[in-house]
A and B are shown apart, each in its own frame.
Chain A
Amino acid sequence: MKKKLISVLLCVSLAATMLAGCGSEKAASSNADAGNDAGQEAPAESGSTEGGGAEGGKTYAIVTKAAGNPFNEKTADGFKEVIEASGGTAIIKHPEAPTADAQVSVIQSLISQGVDSICIAANDENALQAALEEAMAAGIKVCCEDSKTNPDSRQVFVNQAGVNEIGVALMEAVHDITGGEGQWAVLSATSQAANQNAWIEAMKKTMESDEKYSKLELVEVAYGDDEPQKSTDQTQALLAKYPNLKLICAPTTVGINAAAKVLQDEKSSVKLTGLGLPSEMAEYIGDDDAHSCPYMYLWNPIDLGRLGAYTSIALVDGTITGAEGDKFTAGDMGDYEVIAADDGGTEMILGAPFKFDASNIDEWKDVY
């Protein structure tokens, strides 16, 4: 009897936790809905004041990876800003979960809503194909930003991370911080991470291409598997193995964070650069010896969203079709050209990565 009572109680408490969980999720998604509503209402006002542009009455949708992804939210902000300035209506859709399934149902609701374009940060390269092909068949223009789908599911990809641009920017930083000579090492994520390997390759190519890098010696590429613990081990090992090491370049947010902590705690003279999140790195960025990282890079999510918006507009008004060689002007961002992507589709590249240093980190650390 006692046992039964306890198991009933346990079941009830389990159900209660589940309900509590669902409840807060609902609250989150209703917040997201509120955001969408605001997004749809705001342009109506601006439309009336500006009298509507040539694109007036058109609706442009952006689909993020999931509700509450800070990077995606900034992208959506940039997208909305450009669309509304042009007199269009921006719809921001956050899927409930960061999965392809959740995005498929969002895409389907957008198709039935009859939007003019969809700009999506894909959660899966292939799983969205059926839904996006259906959208394109319905006359909706499709582009991707942040992370792409396969070539068949999109017209063009807005790539924030041009491999060569990153290779050049990081190599330039290595050259600048080391003073042009000495030993340096790379701390990467996993040895199979495709983007990491492409960036490291691009750095090596840049290093070989110019005589000014000849006095720099890349001693090792270490892999921290994007785990703080392993990255710490690897950083400490680099310091022990190469007493003359001058710089570590970590093109991964977890790695650079762990390395920055090790270097700063040990008051090491070894410096750091790479790709990192401003909010995580704020403590370590500075020009003096007390800080381990003079500056680092990452893309600018707001600009990414803005370019996504200009691309959507250009696709809808027919300036571009997403074919290789198409050119258009993205407002004050300048001219962009559609080029061939590695996967057989087309893409355009946002530009060089954005530099975060002591002068702007305070402003960016609250952004993402």
Chain B
Amino acid sequence: MKENKSILKKITGSREASLLIVLVVLCVVISMRSPSFLTLKSISDMLKNNAVIMIMTLGMLGVLLVGGIDISITSTLALSGMTAGMLVKYGIVENTFLLFVIAVAIGGLCGFLAGLIISKGKVLPIIATMGFMYIYRGLAYIVANSQWASAEDLGAFKEFALGSVFGINNVIIVLVICYAVFFVVMKWTKTGRMVYAVGSNREAAGISGINTSSVELMVYTVMGTLAGLCGALAVSIYSSAQPNMLYGREMDVIAACVIGGVSMTGGRGSVAGALLGSLILAIIAKALPLVGIEAIAQNTVKGVIILAVIVLNVITQRVMDKNNLKGREM
């Protein structure tokens, strides 16, 4: 009896648990209508095709936690991906690992610059990153110089996304590593806890000796680094480097965070939430064409599901707060 209650309490008492329920319900409904959905291949396809958004969701989690936002990420992705693509196309760099390092470095630098303007220059994050959104996207076009890299130009670089270790696709391995590292860092390290501290109460964090602007600089740099990594990944996954890569998709990344219960005002959110949020988005994208919903209605259905999940999330949060208050009264 007591145990039952605590499970129930756990379910209503945690945003992640309510998301997990949504996820399970979605999966059950979809696999009833389309049995091929829950096969290993289908899931692996889904993770691979959504890896880029899922990885950037992690970076966005950090940025949102300190109360910021970064809308320059897909431009950073395009710049680093395009650079990697052009380097392969013209045969300047052919080593896959080195290309990843270059893309990650470019991304990190992009994020670092944005972070500098925001943390040291005290510019509003949305304004600063809007500027960088145009700068980096423009630089991607300059790097491309009206050319693009397609499957034939990319040689061995595109093999990365096709290869696998122990039967698991390389892209999925990268995805899992990113999530594992973030989970540990955010939960159990000083750095992770400092991010939460700055996000929930910047002044208090500052007084207690945390260098708040350094923390801010760090989260944007990490965001850029991940976007750079995703640039190389995207080029490898789709065997195509175009300067307009993922144009406008930063919204999906932010949406994944919000669905996952990450607060837009900072301080609240978890890696598990980010994972569940981006998984729900990925499942919706994968499943809508599968279950036979009329093509023109797919976007509407997507919007309705997202809203429903968020409303459910908010209600869970209220119940949770109420319970916590009750606990205090007693």
Question: In the complex the two chains form, is B142's CB within 8 Å of A261's CB?
Answer: no
Of residues 229 to 257 in A, which have CB atoms within 8 Å of B's CB atoms?
A: 229-230, 232-234, 236-238, 240-241, 257
Question: In the complex the two chains form, is A228's CB within 8 Å of B240's CB?
Answer: yes
Question: In the complex the two chains form, is A261's CB within 8 Å of B151's CB?
Answer: yes
Question: What per-residue 1/0 map shows which CB atoms of B270-308 lie under 8 Å from chain A?
Answer: 000000000000000110011010011010000000000
B34 interfacial by beta-carbon distance below 8 Å: yes
Q: Assign chain B's interface to a size class.
A: 35 or more
Question: In the complex the two chains form, is A222's CB within 8 Å of B295's CB?
Answer: yes
B200 interfacial by beta-carbon distance below 8 Å: no
**A16 vs B292: C-alpha distance in the bound complex, in angstroms?**
53
Question: In the complex the two chains form, is A283's CB within 8 Å of B289's CB?
Answer: no
Question: In the complex the two chains form, is B148's CB within 8 Å of A280's CB?
Answer: yes
B50 interfacial by beta-carbon distance below 8 Å: yes
Q: Give the number of residue pairs across the A-B interface with Cβ within 8 Å.
A: 91
Q: Which residues of chain A are within 8 angstroms of B116 by Cβ–Cβ distance?
A: 6, 10
Question: In the complex the two chains form, is A228's CB within 8 Å of B285's CB?
Answer: no
Q: Which residues of chain A are within 8 angstroms of B135 by Cβ–Cβ distance?
A: 17, 21
A24 interfacial by beta-carbon distance below 8 Å: yes
B314 interfacial by beta-carbon distance below 8 Å: no
Question: What per-residue 1/0 map shows which CB atoms of A53-77 lie under 8 Å from chain B?
Answer: 0000000000000011110000000
B294 vs chain A, min Cβ distance (A): 10
Q: Which among A232, A234, A365 is the interface contact of B152 at CB below 8 angstroms? A: A365
Q: Which among B113, B120, B139, B285 is the interface contact of A6 at CB below 8 angstroms? A: B120
Q: Which among A240, A258, A281 is the interface contact of B238 at CB below 8 angstroms? A: A258
**A283 vs B150: C-alpha distance in the bound complex, in angstroms?**
8
Given contacts A68-B146, A282-B151, contact A233 B285 (CB under 8 A): yes
Q: Which residues of chain B are within 8 angstroms of A17 by Cβ–Cβ distance?
A: 135
Question: What per-residue 1/0 map shows which CB atoms of B118-138 lie under 8 Å from chain A?
Answer: 001100000000000001001
Given contacts A21-B139, A232-B238, A265-B162, contact A283 B151 (CB under 8 A): yes
Q: Which residues of chain A are within 8 angstroms of B49 by Cβ–Cβ distance?
A: 229, 232-233, 236
A238 vs chain B, min Cβ distance (A): 8
**Could you write out 24 A-B pairs with CB less than 8 Å apart?**
A6-B116, A10-B120, A10-B121, A67-B146, A69-B146, A191-B295, A221-B295, A222-B289, A229-B53, A230-B285, A232-B49, A233-B286, A234-B289, A236-B286, A241-B292, A279-B148, A279-B150, A280-B240, A281-B150, A282-B150, A282-B152, A283-B151, A283-B152, A284-B151
